[in-house]
Amino acid sequence: MDWSNTSALVSGGAGGLGGATCRRLVELGAAVVVFEHDGERARALADELGPRAVACQGDHNDDAALLAAIEEARCLGSFRINVNAVAVAIPTPPTASPDGEPHDMGIFRTMIDMHLNGPFNVSRLSAAAFAANEPDADGQRGLIINTSSTAALDGQARQVAYAAAKAAISGMTLAMARDLAPIGVRACAIAPGPILTPRLASAPPELKAELVRNVAFPKRFGHPEEYATLVEAIVRTPFLNGQTIRLDGALSTPLTEMSPLKA
């Protein structure tokens, strides 16, 4: 790949995973659009990264904001990479409480909007833009990488909406890859375990110790930079398609509740 002529759109681009991805892509020579709900954070990262990065503020369920960001990516180079890294675990109520209070459907819908509808929306609009690209030697026009989670297969109590959304990200990946094969667009997903993003860094020490205890090897948290290098590896491996890749140190999670991570 000619990185110097390639641009990427990273949603959640100023977060822990997205920020590391933006930094790595710029290090490789690509240009990036840092798409983020928090415009101040997006601009701060774009300023840090220099002229190969542009900040775009918006919600990933907002078509107008996304289309503007895609146009920015096209202005920076050949837009061929979309990484969706909005992945915030937010403990929510149980399906029903012991006193008979049902889970609030508004909270459930908000979580699905954030963690499933939004990434799909960025994916579909990016794929449509990729269709106009000239194919490379493999016939490839673009790549979409979504972010699932180990919660997709091992959801904790009070995470029912988050686990459902992340399972759906994994579930749609192969179907999306097959959908987009005729236009030469690949689709993969990364399912991180405990990665030491700023949110997890601020978690209670006892929860962090328990999470590390359940990692097989290496016995530590993952680094956001490891997510970014996995993004790079997927970009560099055109035969890798339709897969959800766990990034978790062979984690096992006997925990049953993540409520200590409450904001």
Tens of each residue's pLDDT in the chain, 263 residues: 789 999 999 999 999 999 999 999 999 999 999 999 999 999 999 999 999 999 999 999 999 999 999 999 999 999 999 999 996 766 789 999 999 999 999 999 999 999 999 999 999 999 999 999 999 999 999 999 999 999 999 888 889 999 999 999 999 999 999 999 999 999 999 999 999 998 888 888 988 888 899 899 999 999 999 999 999 999 999 999 999 999 999 998 766 666 654 43
Number of domains forming the structure of the chain: 1
Whole-number pLDDT of residue 191: 97
* Neighbour count for residue 217 (Cβ, 10 Å): 7
Distance CA 204, CA 200 (A): 9
Distance CA 125, CA 70 (A): 8
**Residue 72's CATH number:** 3.40.50.720
- Please check whether residue 9 is in contact with residue 25, taking contact to mean a CB–CB distance below 8 angstroms: no
Residue span of the structural domain in which 130 resides? 3-261
Q: What tokens does 87 get?
A: 């992945």
What residues are paired with 70 via a beta bridge? none
Whole-number pLDDT of residue 262: 43
Residue 227 known to be catalytic: no
Q: What tokens does 98 get?
A: 């012991």
Task: Kindly report each contact of residues 223-226 with a partner whose C-beta sits within 8 Å and lies 24 or more positions away, as own/partner.
Answer: 223/20, 223/195, 223/196, 224/16, 224/17, 224/19, 224/20, 224/195, 224/196, 224/197, 225/20, 225/24, 226/195
First to last CA, the chain: 41
Q: What tokens does 10 get?
A: 């990273």
Whole-number pLDDT of residue 204: 87
Order across the sheet with 6-11: list the strands. Answer: 53-57, 31-36, 6-11, 78-84, 142-147, 185-192, 244-247
Distance CA 84, CA 192 (A): 13
Q: Of the candidates 170, 208, 204, which has an alpha carbon nearest to the alpha carbon of residue 190?
A: 170
Q: Of the candidates 229, 226, 233, which has an alpha carbon nearest to the alpha carbon of residue 248?
A: 226
Distance CA 184, CA 238 (A): 10
Whole-number pLDDT of residue 263: 35
- DSSP labels, 95-136: SB-TTSPBPPHHHHHHHHIIIIIHHHHHHHHHHHHHTTSPP-
Whole-number pLDDT of residue 157: 87
| 256, burial (CB in 10 Å: exposed 0-12, middle 13-18, buried 19+) | exposed
Indicate the pTM of the whole model.
0.94
- Please check whether residue 91 is in contact with residue 158, taking contact to mean a CB–CB distance below 8 angstroms: yes
Q: Which of 79, 162, 221, 227 is catalytic?
A: 162
Residues 6+ away with beta carbon under 8 Å from 106 = none
Whole-number pLDDT of residue 92: 85
